[in-house]
Amino acid sequence: DAGVIQSPRHEVTEMGQEVTLRCKPISGHDYLFWYRQTMMRGLELLIYFNNNVPIDDSGMPEDRFSAKMPNASFSTLKIQPSEPRDSAVYFCASSTTTANYGYTFGSGTRLTVV
């Protein structure tokens, strides 16, 4: 398996622009998580899905952030409009129902908003 695949790896955008981050989970994993990592706040959960349904979005910072999972093999995290404080590394992770083998993280998207 290719693991969790995220794109793009790097994104530089101007303040006010829309940004879309993409994630393909491991086939057969029915949980998908979006995390954000910054020096100040560490690793924070933004939202997670089970069988394509959002379960907990309490970590989404504000209405500018939205996430979708239209099918079992694809999820997006959208920021509109983007702001400099959104600059961070965004990780997608997936797991099986039991998570007995852990959670597998993608390589991340480094977002810079200027």
Report which residue type is found at 6: Q
Check binding of 52 to other proteins (CB under 8 A): no
27: contact with other proteins by CB under 8 A? no
Whether a cis peptide bond, with omega within 30° of 0, leads into 8 is yes
d(C-alpha 13, C-alpha 1), whole Å: 31
d(CA 25, CA 29): 7
Number of residues lying near other proteins (CB under 8 A): 24
Residue 107 contacts other proteins per CB under 8 A: yes
Please, are residues 95 and 28 in contact by the beta-carbon 8 Å criterion? no
Closer residue to other proteins (CB): 81 or 89: 89
Contact segment (CB under 8 A) with other proteins among 17-25, 70-78, 79-87, 101-109 equals 101-109
Footprint of other proteins (CB under 8 A): 31, 33, 42-43, 45, 48, 50, 56, 91, 93, 95-108
